[in-house]
Amino acid sequence: MADKEKSLQYGRLQINLLSRTVSIDNLEIILTRMEFDVLYFLASNPDLAFTKEQIYEAVSKDDYSGGAYIIRDIIYRLRSKLKITNIRTLHGYGYKFSTDNGKDNSVS
């Protein structure tokens, strides 16, 4: 039961916090620690908007003031590796994990 509570499922995308694994169609996708943490944070808070700074503060172990700038690169890498459109850019603000799967490439 505890394992299920730590696992998120969005269509073909599955994120398991306890094993720190991500899979699409049961095929594991290898992510770095920061990639996994950003994805899990956003997917754990679906449809909520966050600034890069808020995301960095939520997932980082340090207080590096310029750290928020790496979030853009991490988002890019997540989109490339996972081939999903759930991670949406909110221009001039930040990002959110959308549960709206209206686009063709979204996880369904």
In this prediction, residues 53-65 reach a mean pLDDT of: 86
Residue 44 has pLDDT above 80, yes or no: yes
- Could you give the 3-state DSSP secondary structure of residue 2? helix
Residue 6 has pLDDT above 90, yes or no: no
CATH code for the domain in which residue 19 is found: 1.10.10.10
Taking the alpha carbons of 49, 50, 55, 57 in that order, is the dihedral positive or negative? Answer: negative
Residue 102 has pLDDT above 50, yes or no: no
- Could you give the 3-state DSSP secondary structure of residue 79? helix
Domain for residue 57, yes or no? yes
Token pair of 51 as six digits: 């600034």
Helix (H) or strand (E) holding 9: strand 7-10
C-alpha gyration radius of the chain: 13
Q: State the burial class of residue 14 (Cβ atoms within 10 Å of its Cβ: 0-12, 13-18, 19+).
A: middle
Domain for residue 59, yes or no? yes
Residue 103 has pLDDT above 90, yes or no: no
Number of structural domains the chain divides into: 1
Q: What is the pLDDT of residue 62?
A: 78
Q: What is the pLDDT of residue 64?
A: 73
Domain for residue 105, yes or no? no
In this prediction, residues 102-107 reach a mean pLDDT of: 40
In this prediction, residues 78-86 reach a mean pLDDT of: 94
